[in-house]
Amino acid sequence: MLDVLKVRIYPNKEQEISLAKSFGCSRFVWNFYLNKTNIQYEETGKGMTYCQMAKDLTQLKKLADYEWLQEPTAAVLQQSLKNLESAFKNFFAKRTGFPKFKSKHSKQSIRFPESCSIKNGGLKLPKLGIVKVSLSKNVSGKIKSVTVSKTSTDKYFAAILFEVGDLKNTKQGKISGIDLGLTSLITVFDGETCHKVDPIKPTRKYAKRLRVRQKSLSRKVKGSNNRRKAVKVVARVHEKISNTRANFLHKLSRKLVDDNQVIVAENLCVKGLARTKLAKSIHDAGFGMLLNFISYKLDRVEGNFIQVDRFFPSTKLCSCCGHKNDLLNLSIREWICLNCQTIHDRDENASRNLRAEGIRILSTNTVGHTEIQACGETVRLVGTCAKKRVSKKQESPANRKAV
Protein backbone atom coordinates (compact mmCIF):
# COMPACT_ATOMS: atom_id res chain seq x y z
CA MET A 1 0.00 0.00 0.00
CA LEU A 2 1.23 3.49 -0.86
CA ASP A 3 0.86 6.62 1.23
CA VAL A 4 1.73 10.28 0.58
CA LEU A 5 3.11 12.79 3.05
CA LYS A 6 3.33 16.43 2.01
CA VAL A 7 5.88 18.40 4.03
CA ARG A 8 7.50 21.79 3.83
CA ILE A 9 11.20 21.94 2.98
CA TYR A 10 13.70 24.74 3.56
CA PRO A 11 16.48 24.66 0.95
CA ASN A 12 19.53 26.88 1.36
CA LYS A 13 20.66 29.40 -1.25
CA GLU A 14 22.68 26.90 -3.31
CA GLN A 15 19.85 24.38 -3.24
CA GLU A 16 17.35 27.09 -4.29
CA ILE A 17 19.52 27.89 -7.31
CA SER A 18 19.77 24.20 -8.21
CA LEU A 19 16.01 23.78 -7.85
CA ALA A 20 15.39 26.85 -10.01
CA LYS A 21 17.54 25.33 -12.76
CA SER A 22 15.68 22.02 -12.47
CA PHE A 23 12.30 23.79 -12.63
CA GLY A 24 13.40 25.72 -15.70
CA CYS A 25 14.81 22.69 -17.51
CA SER A 26 11.75 20.59 -16.76
CA ARG A 27 9.47 23.38 -17.95
CA PHE A 28 11.52 23.84 -21.13
CA VAL A 29 11.41 20.10 -21.92
CA TRP A 30 7.64 20.06 -21.48
CA ASN A 31 7.07 23.10 -23.70
CA PHE A 32 9.64 22.04 -26.32
CA TYR A 33 8.20 18.57 -26.87
CA LEU A 34 4.61 19.73 -26.58
CA ASN A 35 5.29 22.10 -29.47
CA LYS A 36 7.24 19.45 -31.40
CA THR A 37 4.46 16.89 -30.92
CA ASN A 38 1.86 19.36 -32.15
CA ILE A 39 3.89 20.12 -35.28
CA GLN A 40 4.47 16.44 -36.03
CA TYR A 41 0.78 15.67 -35.52
CA GLU A 42 -0.20 18.41 -38.00
CA GLU A 43 2.26 17.07 -40.59
CA THR A 44 1.87 13.30 -40.20
CA GLY A 45 -1.31 12.80 -38.18
CA LYS A 46 0.63 11.07 -35.37
CA GLY A 47 2.20 12.52 -32.24
CA MET A 48 5.39 11.48 -30.45
CA THR A 49 5.49 8.67 -27.91
CA TYR A 50 7.53 8.81 -24.70
CA CYS A 51 10.26 6.59 -26.16
CA GLN A 52 10.62 8.85 -29.19
CA MET A 53 10.75 11.99 -27.04
CA ALA A 54 13.28 10.45 -24.61
CA LYS A 55 15.55 9.34 -27.48
CA ASP A 56 15.33 12.79 -29.05
CA LEU A 57 16.09 14.43 -25.68
CA THR A 58 19.30 12.42 -25.38
CA GLN A 59 20.49 13.82 -28.73
CA LEU A 60 19.29 17.31 -27.83
CA LYS A 61 21.53 17.42 -24.72
CA LYS A 62 24.61 16.82 -26.90
CA LEU A 63 24.05 20.01 -28.89
CA ALA A 64 26.13 23.02 -27.86
CA ASP A 65 23.10 25.27 -27.46
CA TYR A 66 21.37 22.85 -25.06
CA GLU A 67 24.23 21.66 -22.85
CA TRP A 68 22.57 23.32 -19.85
CA LEU A 69 19.95 20.55 -19.93
CA GLN A 70 22.62 18.26 -18.41
CA GLU A 71 22.70 20.20 -15.12
CA PRO A 72 19.62 18.60 -13.48
CA THR A 73 19.38 14.85 -13.03
CA ALA A 74 18.21 13.02 -16.15
CA ALA A 75 15.36 11.29 -14.30
CA VAL A 76 13.67 14.65 -13.66
CA LEU A 77 13.53 15.49 -17.37
CA GLN A 78 12.39 11.98 -18.26
CA GLN A 79 9.61 12.28 -15.70
CA SER A 80 8.50 15.52 -17.38
CA LEU A 81 8.18 13.61 -20.66
CA LYS A 82 6.18 10.86 -18.92
CA ASN A 83 3.84 13.49 -17.51
CA LEU A 84 3.39 14.95 -20.98
CA GLU A 85 2.52 11.54 -22.40
CA SER A 86 0.01 10.98 -19.57
CA ALA A 87 -1.53 14.39 -20.29
CA PHE A 88 -2.12 13.41 -23.92
CA LYS A 89 -3.60 10.05 -22.90
CA ASN A 90 -5.99 11.78 -20.50
CA PHE A 91 -6.98 14.22 -23.24
CA PHE A 92 -7.75 11.52 -25.79
CA ALA A 93 -9.67 9.59 -23.10
CA LYS A 94 -11.74 12.78 -22.58
CA ARG A 95 -10.79 13.04 -18.92
CA THR A 96 -9.24 16.49 -19.21
CA GLY A 97 -8.45 19.29 -21.64
CA PHE A 98 -5.60 19.61 -24.13
CA PRO A 99 -2.13 19.99 -22.53
CA LYS A 100 -1.07 23.62 -22.09
CA PHE A 101 2.31 25.30 -22.18
CA LYS A 102 3.80 25.96 -18.75
CA SER A 103 4.69 29.40 -17.45
CA LYS A 104 7.46 30.36 -15.04
CA HIS A 105 5.05 32.69 -13.22
CA SER A 106 2.80 29.88 -11.98
CA LYS A 107 3.40 26.98 -9.59
CA GLN A 108 6.57 25.00 -10.39
CA SER A 109 7.10 21.30 -9.70
CA ILE A 110 9.51 18.48 -10.50
CA ARG A 111 9.55 14.80 -9.54
CA PHE A 112 12.48 12.71 -8.39
CA PRO A 113 11.46 9.08 -9.16
CA GLU A 114 14.45 7.44 -7.47
CA SER A 115 17.43 7.79 -5.11
CA CYS A 116 15.52 9.68 -2.40
CA SER A 117 15.76 8.96 1.31
CA ILE A 118 15.43 10.38 4.83
CA LYS A 119 18.88 10.95 6.29
CA ASN A 120 20.00 12.78 9.44
CA GLY A 121 16.55 14.28 9.92
CA GLY A 122 16.54 15.77 6.42
CA LEU A 123 15.40 14.79 2.94
CA LYS A 124 18.20 13.60 0.65
CA LEU A 125 17.57 14.39 -3.03
CA PRO A 126 19.74 13.72 -6.12
CA LYS A 127 22.23 16.55 -6.87
CA LEU A 128 20.79 18.59 -3.98
CA GLY A 129 22.08 16.74 -0.96
CA ILE A 130 20.26 16.84 2.35
CA VAL A 131 17.47 19.43 2.45
CA LYS A 132 16.06 20.68 5.74
CA VAL A 133 12.53 19.35 6.18
CA SER A 134 9.70 19.61 8.70
CA LEU A 135 8.35 16.06 9.14
CA SER A 136 4.96 15.64 10.81
CA LYS A 137 5.34 11.84 11.06
CA ASN A 138 7.95 9.17 10.47
CA VAL A 139 8.49 7.77 6.98
CA SER A 140 9.38 4.16 7.72
CA GLY A 141 8.69 2.50 4.35
CA LYS A 142 10.62 2.65 1.11
CA ILE A 143 10.35 6.00 -0.68
CA LYS A 144 9.06 5.54 -4.24
CA SER A 145 9.26 9.16 -5.43
CA VAL A 146 9.42 12.76 -4.21
CA THR A 147 7.65 15.66 -5.92
CA VAL A 148 9.13 19.05 -5.06
CA SER A 149 6.98 22.12 -5.73
CA LYS A 150 7.35 25.86 -5.32
CA THR A 151 4.27 27.99 -4.74
CA SER A 152 3.66 31.51 -5.97
CA THR A 153 4.53 32.74 -2.45
CA ASP A 154 8.07 31.26 -2.70
CA LYS A 155 7.42 28.33 -0.37
CA TYR A 156 8.85 24.89 -1.09
CA PHE A 157 7.00 21.63 -0.45
CA ALA A 158 7.83 17.96 -0.98
CA ALA A 159 5.21 15.25 -1.53
CA ILE A 160 6.81 11.96 -0.43
CA LEU A 161 5.30 8.78 -1.87
CA PHE A 162 6.29 5.77 0.24
CA GLU A 163 5.22 2.21 1.01
CA VAL A 164 3.28 1.35 4.15
CA GLY A 165 1.65 -1.80 5.47
CA ASP A 166 -2.04 -2.41 4.87
CA LEU A 167 -4.21 -0.79 7.54
CA LYS A 168 -6.73 -3.20 9.02
CA ASN A 169 -9.94 -1.71 10.35
CA THR A 170 -11.11 -3.70 13.36
CA LYS A 171 -13.74 -1.28 14.66
CA GLN A 172 -17.42 -1.68 13.91
CA GLY A 173 -18.49 1.74 12.74
CA LYS A 174 -21.83 3.22 11.86
CA ILE A 175 -23.61 3.76 8.57
CA SER A 176 -24.27 7.46 8.03
CA GLY A 177 -25.92 9.47 5.30
CA ILE A 178 -24.63 12.97 4.66
CA ASP A 179 -26.45 15.70 2.77
CA LEU A 180 -24.37 18.56 1.37
CA GLY A 181 -25.69 22.10 1.36
CA LEU A 182 -24.84 25.77 1.63
CA THR A 183 -26.86 26.73 4.71
CA SER A 184 -25.36 23.73 6.52
CA LEU A 185 -22.28 22.27 4.88
CA ILE A 186 -23.23 18.72 5.85
CA THR A 187 -26.18 17.16 7.65
CA VAL A 188 -25.26 13.76 9.10
CA PHE A 189 -27.75 11.06 10.12
CA ASP A 190 -26.29 7.86 11.64
CA GLY A 191 -29.55 6.03 12.27
CA GLU A 192 -30.13 7.50 15.72
CA THR A 193 -29.16 11.15 15.83
CA CYS A 194 -28.84 13.92 13.30
CA HIS A 195 -26.42 16.84 13.49
CA LYS A 196 -25.30 19.65 11.21
CA VAL A 197 -21.95 21.29 10.51
CA ASP A 198 -21.93 24.91 9.36
CA PRO A 199 -19.58 26.09 6.58
CA ILE A 200 -16.68 28.37 7.49
CA LYS A 201 -16.84 30.43 4.25
CA PRO A 202 -13.13 31.37 4.00
CA THR A 203 -13.54 33.40 0.80
CA ARG A 204 -16.07 35.72 2.43
CA LYS A 205 -14.07 35.79 5.65
CA TYR A 206 -10.99 37.20 3.92
CA ALA A 207 -12.88 39.16 1.24
CA LYS A 208 -12.06 42.56 2.71
CA ARG A 209 -8.35 41.79 3.05
CA LEU A 210 -8.26 40.46 -0.52
CA ARG A 211 -10.06 43.52 -1.86
CA VAL A 212 -7.56 45.89 -0.24
CA ARG A 213 -4.57 43.93 -1.59
CA GLN A 214 -6.04 43.76 -5.10
CA LYS A 215 -6.74 47.49 -5.14
CA SER A 216 -3.12 48.11 -4.22
CA LEU A 217 -1.98 45.76 -6.99
CA SER A 218 -4.13 47.53 -9.60
CA ARG A 219 -2.31 50.82 -8.92
CA LYS A 220 1.17 49.43 -9.59
CA VAL A 221 2.88 49.92 -12.95
CA LYS A 222 2.99 46.77 -15.05
CA GLY A 223 6.45 45.25 -15.20
CA SER A 224 7.74 47.10 -12.12
CA ASN A 225 9.30 45.54 -9.04
CA ASN A 226 6.54 46.98 -6.85
CA ARG A 227 3.95 45.18 -8.95
CA ARG A 228 5.79 41.87 -8.58
CA LYS A 229 5.83 42.38 -4.82
CA ALA A 230 2.13 43.22 -4.80
CA VAL A 231 1.37 40.06 -6.79
CA LYS A 232 2.99 37.98 -4.05
CA VAL A 233 1.00 39.82 -1.38
CA VAL A 234 -2.25 38.97 -3.18
CA ALA A 235 -1.05 35.38 -3.64
CA ARG A 236 -0.53 35.06 0.13
CA VAL A 237 -4.17 35.97 0.75
CA HIS A 238 -5.35 33.38 -1.78
CA GLU A 239 -3.02 30.84 -0.15
CA LYS A 240 -4.48 31.67 3.27
CA ILE A 241 -8.01 31.07 1.93
CA SER A 242 -7.02 27.78 0.33
CA ASN A 243 -5.18 26.51 3.41
CA THR A 244 -8.05 27.47 5.72
CA ARG A 245 -10.56 25.56 3.58
CA ALA A 246 -8.33 22.50 3.19
CA ASN A 247 -7.53 22.38 6.92
CA PHE A 248 -11.21 22.50 7.87
CA LEU A 249 -12.24 19.85 5.33
CA HIS A 250 -9.38 17.53 6.36
CA LYS A 251 -10.44 17.69 10.01
CA LEU A 252 -14.12 17.23 9.13
CA SER A 253 -13.48 14.26 6.83
CA ARG A 254 -11.18 12.65 9.41
CA LYS A 255 -13.89 12.86 12.08
CA LEU A 256 -16.49 11.37 9.73
CA VAL A 257 -14.20 8.50 8.77
CA ASP A 258 -13.26 7.76 12.38
CA ASP A 259 -16.91 7.63 13.44
CA ASN A 260 -18.32 5.64 10.51
CA GLN A 261 -17.65 2.42 8.64
CA VAL A 262 -19.95 3.33 5.72
CA ILE A 263 -20.70 6.85 4.48
CA VAL A 264 -23.42 7.54 1.94
CA ALA A 265 -23.47 10.79 -0.05
CA GLU A 266 -25.05 12.14 -3.20
CA ASN A 267 -23.03 12.18 -6.41
CA LEU A 268 -23.31 15.90 -7.09
CA CYS A 269 -22.46 17.55 -10.41
CA VAL A 270 -20.23 20.24 -8.94
CA LYS A 271 -19.33 21.67 -12.35
CA GLY A 272 -23.01 22.15 -13.14
CA LEU A 273 -23.69 23.78 -9.78
CA ALA A 274 -20.75 26.12 -10.34
CA ARG A 275 -22.49 27.54 -13.42
CA THR A 276 -25.44 28.83 -11.39
CA LYS A 277 -25.82 32.11 -9.49
CA LEU A 278 -24.56 30.27 -6.38
CA ALA A 279 -21.18 29.59 -8.00
CA LYS A 280 -19.14 31.59 -5.46
CA SER A 281 -20.69 29.77 -2.51
CA ILE A 282 -20.33 26.39 -4.23
CA HIS A 283 -16.61 26.91 -4.82
CA ASP A 284 -16.16 28.30 -1.31
CA ALA A 285 -17.78 25.25 0.28
CA GLY A 286 -15.50 22.76 -1.49
CA PHE A 287 -17.99 19.94 -2.04
CA GLY A 288 -15.75 18.01 -4.43
CA MET A 289 -12.73 18.33 -2.14
CA LEU A 290 -14.70 17.04 0.85
CA LEU A 291 -16.03 14.01 -1.03
CA ASN A 292 -12.53 13.27 -2.33
CA PHE A 293 -11.06 13.41 1.19
CA ILE A 294 -13.76 11.11 2.56
CA SER A 295 -13.28 8.64 -0.31
CA TYR A 296 -9.54 8.10 -0.02
CA LYS A 297 -9.54 8.09 3.79
CA LEU A 298 -12.22 5.41 3.87
CA ASP A 299 -10.27 3.34 1.33
CA ARG A 300 -7.24 3.35 3.62
CA VAL A 301 -9.22 1.79 6.50
CA GLU A 302 -11.21 -0.56 4.23
CA GLY A 303 -14.44 1.37 4.68
CA ASN A 304 -17.19 1.87 2.11
CA PHE A 305 -18.04 5.15 0.45
CA ILE A 306 -21.30 4.98 -1.47
CA GLN A 307 -22.41 7.73 -3.84
CA VAL A 308 -26.10 7.71 -4.65
CA ASP A 309 -27.18 8.70 -8.15
CA ARG A 310 -27.67 12.45 -8.46
CA PHE A 311 -31.19 11.95 -9.86
CA PHE A 312 -32.35 10.21 -6.68
CA PRO A 313 -34.98 12.57 -5.16
CA SER A 314 -33.57 12.52 -1.62
CA THR A 315 -35.03 15.94 -0.74
CA LYS A 316 -38.54 15.36 -2.08
CA LEU A 317 -39.18 11.90 -0.60
CA CYS A 318 -40.78 11.59 2.82
CA SER A 319 -38.43 9.54 5.00
CA CYS A 320 -41.40 8.15 6.94
CA CYS A 321 -43.90 7.00 4.31
CA GLY A 322 -42.03 7.45 1.00
CA HIS A 323 -44.48 10.01 -0.44
CA LYS A 324 -42.90 12.29 -3.06
CA ASN A 325 -43.51 16.03 -2.85
CA ASP A 326 -42.94 17.56 -6.29
CA LEU A 327 -43.82 21.10 -5.14
CA LEU A 328 -40.58 21.73 -3.24
CA ASN A 329 -38.20 24.47 -4.36
CA LEU A 330 -34.88 25.68 -2.96
CA SER A 331 -36.44 28.35 -0.72
CA ILE A 332 -38.51 25.85 1.30
CA ARG A 333 -36.45 24.62 4.25
CA GLU A 334 -39.26 22.84 6.12
CA TRP A 335 -42.30 21.06 4.72
CA ILE A 336 -45.20 18.86 5.84
CA CYS A 337 -45.86 15.51 4.19
CA LEU A 338 -49.36 15.51 2.69
CA ASN A 339 -49.67 11.77 3.23
CA CYS A 340 -48.56 11.21 6.86
CA GLN A 341 -48.52 14.84 8.11
CA THR A 342 -44.91 14.56 9.31
CA ILE A 343 -42.96 17.82 9.61
CA HIS A 344 -39.60 17.51 7.86
CA ASP A 345 -36.45 19.57 7.99
CA ARG A 346 -35.25 19.64 4.38
CA ASP A 347 -31.61 18.67 5.01
CA GLU A 348 -32.31 16.16 7.77
CA ASN A 349 -34.93 14.41 5.65
CA ALA A 350 -32.45 14.18 2.73
CA SER A 351 -29.75 12.64 4.94
CA ARG A 352 -32.24 10.02 6.20
CA ASN A 353 -33.25 9.11 2.64
CA LEU A 354 -29.62 8.91 1.51
CA ARG A 355 -28.77 6.56 4.37
CA ALA A 356 -31.73 4.33 3.55
CA GLU A 357 -30.77 4.28 -0.13
CA GLY A 358 -27.18 3.43 0.78
CA ILE A 359 -28.33 0.47 2.87
CA ARG A 360 -30.47 -0.69 -0.06
CA ILE A 361 -27.48 -0.44 -2.41
CA LEU A 362 -25.33 -2.47 0.00
CA SER A 363 -27.98 -5.17 0.32
CA THR A 364 -28.68 -5.42 -3.43
CA ASN A 365 -25.05 -4.89 -4.52
CA THR A 366 -25.88 -2.11 -7.00
CA VAL A 367 -23.94 1.06 -7.65
CA GLY A 368 -26.28 3.86 -6.77
CA HIS A 369 -28.73 3.64 -9.68
CA THR A 370 -32.33 4.37 -9.02
CA GLU A 371 -35.60 4.12 -10.88
CA ILE A 372 -38.03 6.99 -11.23
CA GLN A 373 -41.34 7.47 -12.95
CA ALA A 374 -41.30 9.74 -16.00
CA CYS A 375 -44.73 10.30 -17.57
CA GLY A 376 -45.94 7.01 -16.09
CA GLU A 377 -43.01 5.05 -17.54
CA THR A 378 -40.19 3.58 -15.44
CA VAL A 379 -36.84 5.01 -16.53
CA ARG A 380 -33.56 3.59 -15.27
CA LEU A 381 -30.76 6.15 -15.08
CA VAL A 382 -27.52 4.38 -15.90
CA GLY A 383 -24.71 6.16 -14.07
CA THR A 384 -24.58 9.90 -13.79
CA CYS A 385 -24.08 10.82 -17.41
CA ALA A 386 -27.07 9.28 -19.18
CA LYS A 387 -27.13 10.99 -22.55
CA LYS A 388 -30.66 10.09 -23.54
CA ARG A 389 -33.73 9.54 -21.42
CA VAL A 390 -36.50 9.19 -23.99
CA SER A 391 -40.11 8.70 -22.96
CA LYS A 392 -43.23 8.91 -25.06
CA LYS A 393 -45.43 11.84 -24.22
CA GLN A 394 -48.68 10.70 -22.69
CA GLU A 395 -52.01 12.07 -23.78
CA SER A 396 -53.70 14.06 -21.04
CA PRO A 397 -57.21 13.12 -19.84
CA ALA A 398 -58.49 16.51 -20.99
CA ASN A 399 -57.38 15.82 -24.55
CA ARG A 400 -59.02 12.40 -24.49
CA LYS A 401 -62.37 13.92 -23.56
CA ALA A 402 -62.01 16.51 -26.29
CA VAL A 403 -61.49 13.76 -28.86
d(CA 239, CA 244): 8
DSSP 3-state assignment of 203? helix
Name the CA dihedral angle for 97, 102, 105, 107, rounded to a multiple of 10 degrees.
70
Q: 186 with 21: CB under 8 angstroms?
A: no
Q: Which of 85, 190, 266, 309 is catalytic?
A: 266
DSSP 3-state assignment of 189? strand
d(CA 202, CA 185): 13
Q: Which of 85, 179, 284, 357 is catalytic?
A: 179
Burial of 125 per CB tally in 10 Å (0-12, 13-18, 19+): buried
Q: 7 with 157: CB under 8 angstroms?
A: yes
Q: For this structure, is 309 an active site residue?
A: no
Q: For this structure, is 377 an active site residue?
A: no
Q: Which of 85, 190, 309, 347 is catalytic?
A: 347
* Helix 13-44, helix 50-61: angle, nearest 10: 120
Q: For this structure, is 179 an active site residue?
A: yes
* 94 φ/ψ sector (left φ>0, alpha ψ -120 to 50, else beta): left
Catalytically active residues are 179, 266, 347
